[in-house]
Amino acid sequence: MAKVKTTFFCQNCGSQYAKWQGQCTSCKEWNTISEEVIQKPEKSDWKLPTSSTKRVSKPLLINEIDTSQEARLDMRDGEFNRVLGGGMVHGSLTLLGGEPGIGKSTLLLQIALNLEYKTLYVSGEESQKQIKMRAGRIQSNSNNCYILTETKTQNIFKQIEALEPDIVVIDSIQTLHSDYIESSAGSISQIKECTTELIKFAKETATPVLLIGHITKDGHIAGPKILEHMVDTVLQFEGDRNHVFRILRANKNRFGSTNELGIYEMQGSGLREVTNPSEILISEKDEELSGNAVAATLEGLRPLMIEVQALVSTAVYGTPQRSATGFNAKRLNMLLAVLEKRAGFRLGAKDVFLNITGGITVDDPAIDLAVVASILSSNEDVALPSTYCFAAEVGLSGEIRPVQRVEQRILEAEKLGFSTIFVSKYNKIALKNTVIKIQLISKIEDLVGFLV
Ligand code: TYD
Ligand code: MG
């Protein structure tokens, strides 16, 4: 009998070692290295299902490359198409990651059920009956979508060969296992092997494959980092589980930009595309409350009006508390320091809490001015007019810095009925005849003058 071959893998980053050690030399994590069996039989008996389509690559001049059949597949979901860069590319491998229960299976099943193409949805997590129940909630009666519950890649390829689907969805890569590797499903070597087989299948048959991937507790896709290098597109499905909004973004995209963002709302009957997010992210109020300010941000190419709430109160303990939800806490501290120095606010003795409503996280620097305005408003307990909105970055010396694509933000604010937008004096604005008042400011002190 052949000797059982084993090797050691770091379960965090996927590095391979010949023997066990306490700390991974590449990612510096402790106790993450474990032994996996990687017995591989002769690879020569490994055959792709549709080996007849196998072709030998030869070099071509770039002008000679035929792109006529590279048209993208329409996923019949505006948000998903946009994040992918205009639909799914033939032969591409897309990985969708996200926290448990965020709605990854729901999203891909919903898409699979709506497709016009023949789709194979492979699940290693739920039974066919459970998937049918879920499909019942989504209320779709598709007759193009086949459901397979299987975890062995060789069997999956056999079914694919019989069915010849146009798109394959796999839920999830961590449940798959290949006969060519001995170790258990979800281990680094299995994930690597199964992904390699799927890539080979996708590239050689030009069939797009969508994979679901679990993420670890620190938010990375579970499995080796190399998994993200292997696939063409890495999508992240995120959101606060207690809120209804879910955001889909591309962390890596070989066929499009990574700036685009898809927004969904989780409903009793599945995920609904949110085509005009600004309207729902701003809450309806009967009276104006202190500590609220609206920021005109951009997510990808789309303008998004977001409400920022701040609460400033006298610190009970010696060290004041600072907490931010949906906003970088370090940036909050920086803005507070700027306010202290430039606007004379004694914030050192105050607790400051900041919240971006809707459970979303914003990293557009244009939100700074709204954050500052909401803090000032809460500190003075004076409500800002609800028709004001803000779009500018705040610099360390208290200067109001310009932001990109300010015209687009202004037009969105005007469309939603805001009366005044505060932007940096240094933004070059080519707009004429706007109904909305464009208030140009250059320093934080200017803003204080307007608000209190
Ligand atoms: P699921 O897709 O199973 O999450 P994942 O695959 O990312 O682990 O989503 C599960 C959550 O979605 C569950 O908490 C209930 C919710 N949900 C709805 O609110 N409405 C629906 O129609 C469906 C199918 C799920
Ligand atoms: Mg799932």
Q: What is the pLDDT of residues 401-449, one digit of tens each?
A: 999 999 989 988 888 888 999 999 998 888 888 889 999 999 999 998 8
Whole-number Å distance between alpha carbons of 444 and 160: 62
Is residue 191 within 8 Å of residue 143, measured between CB atoms?
no
Domain boundary residue, one of 275, 293, 309: 275
Q: Total structural domains in the chain?
A: 3
Question: Would the CB of 123 count as within 6 Å of ligand 1?
Answer: no
Range of the domain at 24: 1-39
Average pLDDT of the chain is 87
Q: Determine the pLDDT at residue 186.
A: 86
pLDDT in tens, 89-136: 999 999 999 888 899 999 999 999 999 999 999 999 999 999 999 998
pLDDT in tens, 258-289: 878 888 999 888 899 988 777 666 766 667 88
Verify that 234 and 267 share a domain, yes or no.
yes
Query: What pLDDT band is residue 44 in, cutting at 50, 70 and 90?
Result: very low
Verify that 349 and 225 share a domain, yes or no.
no
Question: Would the CB of 246 count as within 6 Å of ligand 1?
Answer: no
Verify that 210 and 118 share a domain, yes or no.
yes
135 Cα–ligand 1 center, Å: 11
In a domain, 223, yes or no: yes
In percent, the amount of the chain with pLDDT more than 70 equals 91
Q: What is the CATH number of the domain that holds 181?
A: 3.40.50.300
Task: Reply yes or no on whether the pLDDT at 226 is more than 50.
Answer: yes
Whole-number Å distance between alpha carbons of 363 and 300: 11
Q: Determine the pLDDT at residue 45.
A: 43
What type of residue is 91? Answer: G
Q: What is the pTM for the complete model shown?
A: 0.78
In a domain, 264, yes or no: yes
Atom of ligand 1 nearest to the CA of 106: 2
Whole-number Å distance between alpha carbons of 95 and 253: 10
Which has the minimum average pLDDT: 216-225, 350-359, 376-385? Answer: 216-225
Task: Reply yes or no on whether the pLDDT at 166 is more than 70.
Answer: yes
Q: Determine the pLDDT at residue 52.
A: 46
Task: Reply yes or no on whether the pLDDT at 365 is more than 70.
Answer: yes
- Residue 393, strand partner residues: 401
Question: Would the CB of 239 count as within 6 Å of ligand 1?
Answer: no
Look up tokens 């996996």; give the residue.
36
∠ at Cα 185 (184, 186), nearest 5°?
115
The mean per-residue pLDDT over the stretch 354-366 comes to: 87
Domain boundary residue, one of 253, 275, 297: 275
Whole-number Å distance between alpha carbons of 155 and 149: 10
Verify that 286 and 415 share a domain, yes or no.
yes
206 Cα–ligand 2 center, Å: 26
The mean per-residue pLDDT over the stretch 188-196 comes to: 91
Task: Reply yes or no on whether the pLDDT at 299 is more than 70.
Answer: yes
In a domain, 1, yes or no: yes
In a domain, 48, yes or no: no
In a domain, 196, yes or no: yes
Q: To test ligand 1's pocket by mutation, which of 106, 139, 271 has the most ligand atoms within 8 angstroms of CB? A: 106
Verify that 196 and 294 share a domain, yes or no.
no
In a domain, 46, yes or no: no
Verify that 249 and 305 share a domain, yes or no.
no
Q: What is the CATH number of the domain that holds 409?
A: 3.30.230.10
Specify the higher pLDDT residue, 362 or 311: 311
Domain boundary residue, one of 275, 297, 332: 275
CA atoms in the 13 A half-sphere facing the CB of 86: 7
